[in-house]
Amino acid sequence: MKTKFKFKKNERLFILTGAGISAESGLRTFRDNNGLWENYRVEQVATPQAFKRDPGMVWRFYKERYSQLKKAKPNAGHFAIKKLEDFFQKNFFLVTQNVDGLHLAAGNEKVLEMHGSLHKCFCTRCKTRYKFEDIDLSQDIPGCLNCEGQLRPDIVWFGEMPYFLDEINKILSKTDYFLVVGTSGVVYPAAQFLYIAKSYGAHTIGINLEEPDNMQFIDEFHKGKSGDLLPKLVSLWIS
């Protein structure tokens, strides 16, 4: 394995992760089963309109995903990223498109979950926030303990604005290295982060099972599983 990069602690590293790294922990990706769930297109259960039309159906989908998530554990790729945070410390920035919380479970502290978290929900009326573990998931539509409004998963759905975009754009303008792991490069706005970082002069690195759609902006690409490649690469990058 070869790499042309050698990291220094005073440089700044930005990491973007996607579904590929979580798939290695046994979590099905959003597009599994041909993008179908109970004969619905997945997009049909991941929009504000779907929740307004049939909140019980949407909650069934996310309860199923949450049940699957409780069995998942961080893999070697997650722990390698934790090692990078330990190395860079204040110069480390991690943004994930995943909602599973596996980076936090691996020990990462500086994590921006731009698409929300499957561990959290909030009231559509008073905006009180809860952890899934603190609400009654036996209810078809869990209710708010504060105002008796409907709770909804704290997930950024199709048509909604991802979290932390202003903060992310500020970080991208000052990063030295941009590492993208397990993404297809087709989901926006995250897919444009690579281009933005490179336009500001960052060195770019990609790890994925297949070349992403925005491959032309990657300086060094490693094809394969992040759980196999990242531990070896991290040892080379920070040795």
Instruction: Name the phi and psi angles at 216, rounded to 5.
Output: -65, -15
Match 């690409």 to its residue by tokens.
Answer: 221
Q: How far apart are CA 205 and CA 102, in angstroms?
A: 22
Classify strands 203-208 and 220-223 as parallel, antiparallel or unpaired. parallel
Can you tell me whether residue 121 is helix, strand or coil?
strand
The pairs formed by 135-139 with CB atoms below 8 angstroms and a separation of 24 or more are 137/63, 137/66
Residue type, position 105, single letter: A
Can you tell me whether residue 211 is helix, strand or coil?
coil
Residue type, position 202, single letter: A
Point out the residues that are catalytic: 115
Q: How far apart are CA 42 and CA 190, in angstroms?
A: 20
